[in-house]
Structure 1
Amino acid sequence: MRKEDQLLGVHHVTAMTSDVEKNYAFFTDILGMRLVKKTVNQDDIYTYHTYFADDLGSPGTTMTFFDFPNNPKGTKGTNSISRTGFRVPSDAALTYYEQRFNEFNVKHEAISTEFGKKVLRFWDFDDQAYQLISDETNTGVKAGIPWKKGPVPEEFAIYGLGPVEISVSYTADFKGLLENIFNFKTVIQEDDRYLMEVGEGGNGAQVVLVDDTTSPQSQQGFGEVHHVAFRLADRKSLAVWQEIFDNLGLANSGYVDRYYFESLYVRVGHILVELATDEPGFMGDEPYETLGEKLSLAPFLENRREYIESVIKPFNTIRA
């Protein structure tokens, strides 16, 4: 495989929320991430799809959410994406957020160390699990740009996705798939936890694989992650990967145009994995100054705008 076709790191993580407005407030007002796109699920137009990222919606910085109507609460357990990581510039940023979480009554643990780096674990109102990780000693994939008009000072603010935690009950098999298909390498092992990375490595290109044979089987629902996406350079790379999956007999979605990026989906064991291109990004259909302030629709949905706006509950994201 050509170097330019290899995975570049984490592209985005998509999870499910019980309340799109509370979720918006949590991510913008507390975490200080920018809403770069407010749209609908292209496969279910009755569901919002919101994208929170850095100042420009850079690849590798985006956390996205669905709010499926009547979705039950998910059940935590094994065979799931069990925690999403976010990068901050320094150890001091963790201290800042720890104080901020106290101020806003956000459930969190004390700052701790994992795989030699400082981390701060926390949860939102849906019990969705996250952690902040310090880039103080980090090398590898470059981070994004903090939200310039956000509520968190730029020197402390979240500016990228960090390691994504995946818990499975069949670790040896799953680890082999990550290594043999996706070219991940194990960097460190601590007890039943494996730090694995791809491409240039570092916090923006890592997963934490957890060996969990004792927890119950997880169940999808709000408060849980829907899928993880890894970065590819362009559509040519997607075609390379589709051929790989086809040759291995792995059922996959085939090419999917998501308008903001181009995609290919495959299920690895219990985990839904998306490969997504860095381009074209989130800046093509809205001005920088007002990203995320109106309902954005992919071109093939634009002729249904009036109907979509009549059936989806509006919520205000204007920050002027």
Structure 2
Amino acid sequence: MLQFTGLHHVSAITKSAQQNLDFYTNVLGFRLVKKTVNQDSPSMYHLFYADGEGSPGTEMTFFEIPVVGQTHEGTNSISTTSFRVPTDEALHFWKERFEQFDVAHEDITERAGRQTLRFRDPEKQRLMLVSDEHNEGVAGGIPWKVADIPESFAIYGLGPSYFTVANAKATDALLTTVLHFREAGTYEADGTSYKVYETGEGGSGAEIHVEHREDLPVERAGRGSVHHIALRVSTEEDIDAWIERLEQFGVRNSGFVDRFYFKSIYMQDPNGLTIEIASDGPGFAIDEPEDTLGEALSLPPFLENDRAIIEANLKPLHTKRGE
């Protein structure tokens, strides 16, 4: 049976690539592993943050859209992105760090049997840290070494992705019948109920938590919102197999898409959420040395001839830590 190996990446929207870079590297301690452009609209940056090795399952990416407005939060949205930390103790470190850097955050709270800490980035992106203290399942990555963040407390992977939807039955059918997710329980938090779905080995790196909300307006995306979530497979052949399965169930999809750093297919769930399926390889070191990932502007081969024009339309971006 076809199975995903976990979450691959989450892609969101920012108004300012430089502000975004400063927060996700200098405050959260991610490594910028690829500075490139939106392949479908190369006038805008596409930044990839990840663990120290740029591992699938640890990636948070952002499209820069300078003219974008603020998100109007609501239903039919990928409403929270979470990141994994090794222990409950790590959450206390991060709470103190958020206070030091004036990051908006809530108290440490238990959700689905794990300790969690909700917070917001400067553009009000809805984020959460999740403790792996008692977690089993998909392994995390290798933390990027940052001087003021102990490795034992560092972020090292994506945690559960949260969907807020009006038609929960339709999302349930897509996840379980078509995409082979398993129901893994329910829980109450934040005054509402959530259903947990898992794939592959399970655990926090392989979960989607769905909140059913018909009382909210449909979210209007902007800066601080998630554009799509990607589910992880090992090979290009897996992408082909999933295309066949989606066609079998009549799920409209993009067909095979070569993103150079990985291979993909895109679909929408019945509530309009964009879901990508992405392969592990070939990876971010395909076009630059591993020790300098993200420092120069990388372009896929089909855009390389337009490098001069693309660079002229982008604002310079300081990508070395501390600049």
Cα deviation for residue 24 of structure 1 reads 0.3
Q: Is this contact kept in 2: 1:76–1:218, CA < 8 A?
A: yes
Equivalent in 44, 49, 53 of residue 50 of structure 2 = 53
Q: Which of 109, 112, 120 is 1:112 aligned to?
A: 109
Name the CA distance, whole Å, in 1 between partners of 2:148 and 2:14: 22
**Structure 1 residue 249 corresponds to structure 2 residue 250:** yes
Distance in 1 between residues matched to 2:157 and 2:80, nearest whole Å: 15
Determine the C-alpha separation between the residues in 2 that align with 1:71 and 1:44.
15
Measured in 1, the distance between the counterparts of 2:114 and 2:48 equals 27
Deviation at 1:150? 5.5
Please list the CA deviations of residues 81-125 of structure 1 after superposition, one character each: whole Å capped at 9, or x if unmatched.
000010001111100000000000000000000011000000011
Match of 1:265? Answer: 266
Equivalence for 1:317:
319
Matched residues in 2 for 1:26 and 1:149: separation? 13
The percentage of counterpart residues that share the same residue type is 46
Contact 1:32 1:150 in 2 (8 A): no
Which amino acid is the alignment partner of residue 265 of structure 2? L
* Correspondence for 1:180 among 177, 190, 193: 177
Q: Give the C-alpha shift of residue 252 in structure 1.
A: 0.7
SS of match in other structure, 1:167: strand
SS in 1 for 2:61: strand
Does residue 41 (structure 1) correspond to residue 43 (structure 2)? The answer is no
Partner residue of 1:168 out of 153, 158, 165: 165
Q: Across the two proteins, how many residue pairs are aligned to each other?
A: 317
Please give the alpha-carbon distance, in whole angstroms, between the structure 2 residues aligned to 1:280 and 1:262: 8
Q: Which of 68, 86, 89 is equivalent to 2:86?
A: 89
Deviations 1:249-288 (A, max 9, x none): 2211111110110000011121100000011111221212
Query: 1:1-320 to 2 correspondence within 5 Å?
Result: 1=1, 5-149=2-146, 151-191=148-188, 192-269=193-270, 270-319=272-321
State the alpha-carbon separation in 2 of the partners of residues 119 and 319 from structure 1. Answer: 28
What CA distance in whole angstroms lies between the structure 2 residues aligned with 1:92 and 1:274?
Answer: 33
Aligned equivalents of 2:214 and 2:234: distance in 1?
A: 36
CA distance in 1, matches of 2:87, 2:219: 33
Task: Assess if the C-alpha contact under 8 Å between 2:36 and 2:46 holds in 1.
Answer: yes
CA contact (8 A) 2:29 2:146 kept: no
Q: Distance in 2 between matches of 1:194 and 1:169?
A: 14
Cα deviation digits, residues 45-101 of structure 1 (max 9, x gap): 111000000000101000000012312222100000000010001111100000000
Shift of 1:149: 4.0
Gaps of 5+ in 2: none
CA distance in 1 between counterparts of 2:255 and 2:66 reads 27
Q: CA–CA distance in 1 between the matches of 2:172 and 2:248?
A: 20
**Counterparts of 1:98 and 1:237, CA distance in 2:** 40
Unpaired segments of 5 or more residues in structure 1?
none
Contact 2:84 2:158 in 1 (8 A): yes
Equivalent residue of 2:153, what SS?
coil
Whether the 8 Å contact between 1:34 and 1:150 is mirrored in structure 2 is no
- Residue type at the aligned position of 2:16: D
8 Å CA contact 1:62–1:161 kept in 2: the answer is yes
* Corresponding residue SS for 2:107: coil
SS of the residue 2:43 aligns to: strand
Give 2:40's aligned amino acid: D
Measured at CA, do residues 283 and 149 of structure 1 come closer, stay the same or move farther in structure 2, by a change above 3 Å?
Answer: farther
**Alignment deviations for residues 270-319 of structure 1 (CA, whole Å, 9 cap, x no partner):** 11000000111112212122111111111111111111111111111124
Root mean square deviation, CA, Å: 1.1
TM-score when scaled to structure 1? 0.97
TM-score (norm 2): 0.96
**223 and 58 in structure 1: CA distance in 2 versus 1, 3 angstrom threshold:** same
